[in-house]
Structure 1
Amino acid sequence: MMKLSRIAMTLVLMGLSSQATASSVDGLLMKPARGTPLGVVINNPYENAPLTALVSLHGHNINDVTVKVHARNNGVPIEYPVSDTKVMEDGGVPIFGLYPDHLNTVTIDWTEAGEKKTFDYKILTPDIDMGFGQGMWAKAPITDVHYVADDFKDRLYFLSWNSKDAKNAQIAHNNNTAPGALAWDATPGFFIIDTAGEIRWYLNPYTTHDPEYLNGAGYPMGMNVTKDGDMIWVQGQGWKHMSIMGKMLGDRLLPGDFQDGSHEAIEAANGNYFIRAARKNYRNDKGLLVNSVRDHIIELDKNGKLVDFWDLNQILDNQRDAALLSLDSGAVCLNVDLDKAGHKVSAEDLADAPYGDIPGVGAGRNWAHVNSVDYDAKDDSIVLSSRHQSAVIKIGRDKKVKWILSASEGWSEKYQDKLLTPVDAKGNKLNCSSKGECKDTNFDFTWTQHTAYVVPQKGTITVFDNGDGRYLEQPAIPMAKYSRSVEYKVNDKDMTVQQVWEYGKEELGYEGYSPITSIVKYQEDKDSMMSYYASSGLFGAGGGLGNVKWDDTTGKTKSILVEHRYGETKPAVRIDVDSNQIFKTGYRAQVIKIADMMK
């Protein structure tokens, strides 16, 4: 073998080094598949959304991008434009709406150097994994599409289902009687369906939730869409802000003196965020140091800095027990106990209850249970739903009550002039009892309600009337219960309220009775109302409320999603969603407009 001199070897190595520098060394860098015109296909680019993908740019400068995820079988295709800034934001073409466990066909159209181009990508996805636990019979909630009108077939619905498993936060396990709402921890079950009932997006439960870490645990709730088309939700001791592609834009803790956020995180017209929370180490009226429960509203700026807060113990009457005395003890949101179905508590029980997340009067107990907050830019006020007061309440920036939509029973003299007077369409006062029964009229108050939202386009307010404790009592026949989606017109000047629309009382009856959770929300894009009866069938078919039989139907729930053209009572959409785990209950739904999320 010929031996090279040391000088010759040096020259060879120098030449190789020069050549390598000129051509670059890729090492194990993934290269675009042979024959593809853009970059690499990256599945689940941010690890939070398994049914998303990204086609990287790989040095290409493109614009005018559109994406189409082709339908599977006779399903629904998803097609959307992608702004040039969104392409640069994600570093490629964002792909949303892939089917799980499927080799998806995705067409991308774009312009490059003035030339229009198109290409079909094949993208394989994993099967659904939203977490697995005891008592499951399916990997995800099961959809049943009843009816979808042609002009609603492009709808995408975000659904929220959370469930417990044996990996809940250890700090809660070790302090299961701790005051406050600390023990509330659950595996997130966020997903999006199309109108064929197919799951087209879901949240990775293992990346956004950490049961071994206090600030990573919590019960993911109250997801809303921001004006920029991103997602925001609250989760225990913090709140999260994420893009539809799964890019975490903000993962922040609650301000220092607050804790136990749940139910609502919403971006307001003033650009700030409103979150329902509670207070640490709160001195109650008995001089005791307690953790309050679901009775504070905080306003934060986009950086998470505290702007303002509302202490409802100082604004409302935390001793009012009229609604609490009427609650079904088996369905006290979020605590569900079938052994107590149909039973009520006494005033003594409420006054002597241990401090913690259970019904009771006074700070340190769940006397208010605020489950939604909205902001009214018209007069810089907040509107909230207090489930355990069966009341919708408007409060000003000055922390004074503007009005209360509630039966008058139990409200002290201080609040009597704040109670709205029900009227008919002509403005005539209705004859309503102190317990809220308005005879010879279709008007009704709301009972243990959820989601009181302002509709500025109509000058109204929508509320989901769950219906437990209606007229401050439990009915003799449990099957007489029902829930409603309802719309009211409030006259702030005259202090009157008119009911202008309802759905559910006659149309669904007991089938739609949802004792906890649920939502109704106006949708401007189609001039429609979307409602989600999220916990119907909560006590199972085994005998009904008050006579629960422990059989294979006990603990199964069904959510009923309907959307109506404005003012109509015949749905344009109805999709039922059955639970996949015992005691697993739907929480809320939202309409998702993917074009807004790709701007």
Structure 2
Amino acid sequence: MFKPLVHSILALSLCLSAPNLAADPLGMKPIPVPDAPLGYLVHNPYENAPLTALVTLNGHKISNVEVTVHAKDDTGVAINYQVDDMRVMNEGGVPIFGLYPALMNHFTVKWTENGQQHSHDYQMLTPDIDMGFSESQWAKAPIVEVEHVDADFKDRLYFVNWTNPDGKTGQLAHNNPDAPGAFSWDGKPGFFIIDTAGDIRWYLNPYTTHDSKSFENAGYAMGMNITADGNMVWVQGQGWKKMSLMGRMISEHSLPGNFIDASHEGIEASNGNIFIRAAAKDYRRPDGMLVNTIRDQIIEVDNTGKLIDYWDLNSILDPMRDDALLSLDAGAVCLNINASQAGHQTTLEDLKNAPYGDIHGVETGRNWIHVNSIDYDSSDDSIIISSRHQSAVIKIGRDKQVKWILSPAKGWSEKFASKLLTPVDEQGNNLNCNEKGLCRGTNFDFSYTSHTAYLVPEKGTLTVFDNGDGRHLGQPMFATEKYSRSVEYKIDEQNLTVQQVWEYGKDELGYDGYSPVTSIVKYQQDKDSMMSYFASAGLFGLGGGYGNLKMDDTTGKVQSILVEHRYGETKPAVRINIGSHDLFATGYRAQVIKVQDMLK
């Protein structure tokens, strides 16, 4: 009695799989819709970037491709870009970037074929945002509020990185005090791109590039940078990854065997190699103790993952210098954020009695230096590092010798005292600065607990994000006296002097912009501008409200501030406020994304 039903199902199956089975056995091969002049549409072709798509070619040979993803309404921002002919062949179609989430998107593709110009309007429905969810979350993604954008900056796209854990993360470190340090800071990836209308136009699938149960794929995704070939590179726990804007995973590499715990920085240098901030495994100290080190190794690898060189900062610098460590607010020691310790200044007893592991303290095996950025200077084959826990920016040569140190003088031994940069004014006159870095009668200041120190070759300068905790190697009487800055310095390496040429944040934002951890400032050549991200403003309810995003001191919401300035100016051409979507989630970094460069 079931035969008619079986026959009907079989007939339906044959109908679906091949309209003309004898002449054209297509099986379940996708077929373009009747009016499609090219091939069919593929949503999220590599599974990693849900707001991307691909228009396949179906045998067509096209060139001169241009794509416009249309704004969702009158307040939105259209995204327009050209696609290199070779990129079309590489993708197997036309890459579509910048779709809106949870929307029937409209985009137009223009191309040339057989000498004729063509254009077609497409529609595609996209899924809603899913950047992962946690128990303490109140929004599906960080909340973006655009406060101001000048007309000539409306085409900007900003990559933003937030960090926060969920119930799936940290499983490898659960009840395991010997787990490598990066596992203690496991969290789902929080990568997304916003436009200047505040809409999210790209995000990373948090569950395809991260696995809390995997030694190789657990850990915070941090330190994303754009490579010379227009791709993304970042570090994550025990390795590093390189991926295209479309979400194609180009390569995934484990750290070289003697190193563990990559975080904060993975950057491709002009020599084509990747510089990574890591730690050392099974490190034998001079006293014979065996430890895993903490955030104190710089490694250089080639694009196959092979180790090229490394800088062991325990042997290059002084792990016993405690002057900057003693000035820290114990409640906000990135990544060790402990609300119960907020406002407590670190003591000498704290440093001496700290357990070995990822906690701030002197000696190898504790977080004595906390390097959070690396830059490479090809002019003399050197690296420049930012050290949060030494409140110093330091240049070190290939020979592992220190070239200069940008830091207050207090606590540096005789070996390093001659490498300290002397602050000068515009005329080259020495400034009156004490050993704690307080310079009288001038706006010059050193950077304290800094995040990011990057060269600006076009200007012959160096930018530093001065977080400002432990300013002048102490804590102020009132927390509201704290502030963070983006600052630009000009360094004379021959005379070992430093001049401050620009700053933003001290007077303009004050305590409302104070970001005790994370953040970035970076020069942008295309618009001759400075992009700054005050990523942890409002941590623990410390700061004020921004626009319509008001602080609530009981929730731990962070309101980070993204600004971009024309070079030399202090009035922002762009200001965007980004609100936390999860308890104590913090912004990490931001980058300007140039789609044209990434789809060439």
Paired letter, 2:58: H
Preserved contact between residue 179 and residue 357 of structure 1 (Cα < 8 Å): no
In structure 1, the partner of 2:329 is 328
Paired letter, 2:359: I
**Distance in 2, Cα, partners of 1:445 & 1:323:** 12
Superposed displacement of residue 551, structure 1: 7.0
In structure 1, the partner of 2:527 is 526
Preserved contact between residue 285 and residue 363 of structure 1 (Cα < 8 Å): no
In structure 1, the partner of 2:145 is 144
SS of 2:216's equivalent? helix
In structure 1, the partner of 2:442 is 441
Preserved contact between residue 182 and residue 263 of structure 2 (Cα < 8 Å): no
Distance 1:416 1:468, change over 3 A: same
Preserved contact between residue 321 and residue 361 of structure 1 (Cα < 8 Å): yes
> What is the CA deviation profile of residues 415-455 of structure 1, one whole-angstrom value per residue up to 9, with x for unaligned ones?
00000000000000001000000011000000000000011
Q: TM-score, normalised by structure 2?
A: 0.94
SS of 1:414's equivalent? helix
**Distance in 2, Cα, partners of 1:536 & 1:71:** 31
> What is the CA deviation profile of residues 353-398 of structure 1, one whole-angstrom value per residue up to 9, with x for unaligned ones?
1110000111110001000000011111000000000000000000
> What is the CA deviation profile of residues 311-347 of structure 1, one whole-angstrom value per residue up to 9, with x for unaligned ones?
0001000100000000000000011111111112222
SS of 1:499's equivalent? strand
In structure 2, the partner of 1:84 is 85
In structure 1, the partner of 2:57 is 57
1:39-438, aligned counterparts within 5 Å?
A: 39-74=39-74, 75-176=76-177, 178=179, 180-438=181-439
Paired letter, 1:441: T
**Distance in 2, Cα, partners of 1:108 & 1:542:** 46
**Distance in 2, Cα, partners of 1:389 & 1:275:** 19
Preserved contact between residue 275 and residue 298 of structure 1 (Cα < 8 Å): yes
Preserved contact between residue 139 and residue 580 of structure 1 (Cα < 8 Å): yes
Superposed displacement of residue 349, structure 1: 2.2
Superposed displacement of residue 539, structure 1: 1.5
In structure 1, the partner of 2:505 is 504
> What is the CA deviation profile of residues 81-125 of structure 1, one whole-angstrom value per residue up to 9, with x for unaligned ones?
000111011100000000000001110000011110000000110
SS of 2:480's equivalent? helix
**Distance in 2, Cα, partners of 1:107 & 1:193:** 21
Superposed displacement of residue 33, structure 1: 1.0
In structure 2, the partner of 1:29 is 29
Superposed displacement of residue 190, structure 1: 0.3
**Distance in 2, Cα, partners of 1:543 & 1:515:** 14
SS of 2:522's equivalent? strand
Paired letter, 1:50: P
Paired letter, 1:47: E
Paired letter, 2:26: D
Superposed displacement of residue 183, structure 1: 1.4
Preserved contact between residue 180 and residue 364 of structure 1 (Cα < 8 Å): no
SS of 1:222's equivalent? strand
**Distance in 1, Cα, partners of 2:204 & 2:287:** 44
Paired letter, 1:570: K
**Distance in 2, Cα, partners of 1:226 & 1:577:** 26
SS of 2:279's equivalent? strand
RMSD, aligned α-carbons: 1.6
Q: TM-score, normalised by structure 1?
A: 0.94
In structure 1, the partner of 2:515 is 514
Superposed displacement of residue 169, structure 1: 3.2
Preserved contact between residue 179 and residue 355 of structure 1 (Cα < 8 Å): no
SS of 2:223's equivalent? strand
**Distance in 1, Cα, partners of 2:543 & 2:465:** 26
Superposed displacement of residue 352, structure 1: 2.6
In structure 1, the partner of 2:548 is none
Q: Note the residue ranges of structure 1 that are not aligned, 5 or more in a row.
A: 1-18, 545-549
> What is the CA deviation profile of residues 223-270 of structure 1, one whole-angstrom value per residue up to 9, with x for unaligned ones?
000011100000000100000000000111011101100000001011
Superposed displacement of residue 287, structure 1: 1.1
SS of 2:415's equivalent? helix
SS of 1:101's equivalent? coil
Paired letter, 2:563: V
In structure 2, the partner of 1:11 is none
Paired letter, 1:54: L
Overall identity of the aligned pairs, in %: 66
SS of 2:452's equivalent? strand
Preserved contact between residue 260 and residue 277 of structure 1 (Cα < 8 Å): yes
SS of 1:215's equivalent? coil
In structure 1, the partner of 2:16 is none
SS of 2:212's equivalent? coil
Paired letter, 1:316: L
**Distance in 2, Cα, partners of 1:213 & 1:264:** 21
Preserved contact between residue 482 and residue 504 of structure 1 (Cα < 8 Å): yes
SS of 2:376's equivalent? strand
In structure 2, the partner of 1:569 is 570
Give the length in aligned residue pairs.
Answer: 576
Paired letter, 1:146: E
Distance 1:447 1:542, change over 3 A: closer
Superposed displacement of residue 495, structure 1: 0.3
Preserved contact between residue 109 and residue 117 of structure 1 (Cα < 8 Å): yes
Distance 1:57 1:140, change over 3 A: same
Paired letter, 1:48: N
**Distance in 2, Cα, partners of 1:178 & 1:475:** 36
1:477-496, aligned counterparts within 5 Å?
A: 477-496=478-497
Superposed displacement of residue 543, structure 1: 11
Preserved contact between residue 169 and residue 213 of structure 1 (Cα < 8 Å): no
Superposed displacement of residue 22, structure 1: 8.4
In structure 2, the partner of 1:456 is 457
Q: Note the residue ranges of structure 2 that are not aligned, 5 or more in a row.
A: 1-18, 546-550
Superposed displacement of residue 184, structure 1: 1.6
Paired letter, 2:473: L
Superposed displacement of residue 542, structure 1: 9.5
SS of 1:214's equivalent? coil
Runs of 4+ residues over 6 Å off in structure 1: 19-22
